[in-house]
Amino acid sequence: MSTVALMWEARAADGRGNELLEWARSQVLEREPVRRELLRAAQDRVLVVTWWEAAEGLAAQLPELPEPAADLITRPVHRWRFESVETSGT
């Protein structure tokens, strides 16, 4: 069994960072991940990281957040998949 992290990152349209954050927070996935974390950064960027246990590793079929409405973002969403290779700390 592997731990897979899905990262979803979007940049909000000017002045709409809080709205994008709330949109990301409200999204319901087909099933719940082991962990979900929402982060924000400069320039109204929102990052959502979900962690999953997946026997298939990076090839696993996992639910992902969709694209928000085009007027809420300044560019298409960026997405990455990572497979855990080492963990330290708490």
> Domain count of the chain?
1
Q: In what helix (H) or strand (E) does residue 44 lie, and over which residues does it extend?
A: none
Q: What is the CATH number of the domain that holds 24?
A: 3.30.70.100
Q: Is residue 71 part of a domain?
A: yes
Six-digit token pair at 87?
A: 């963990």
The distance from CA 77 to its chain's CA centroid, rounded to whole angstroms, is 10
pLDDT tens-digit series, residues 33-44 = 999 999 999 999
Task: Give the mean pLDDT of the chain.
Answer: 96
Phi-psi domain of 89 (left: phi exceeds 0; alpha: psi -120 through 50; beta: other): left
Range(s) of the domain holding residue 46: 2-56+65-81
Three-class SS of residue 88? coil
- Contact, 83 vs 58, CB < 8 A? yes
* Mean pLDDT calculated for residue range 52-77: 97
Q: What is the pLDDT of residue 31?
A: 96
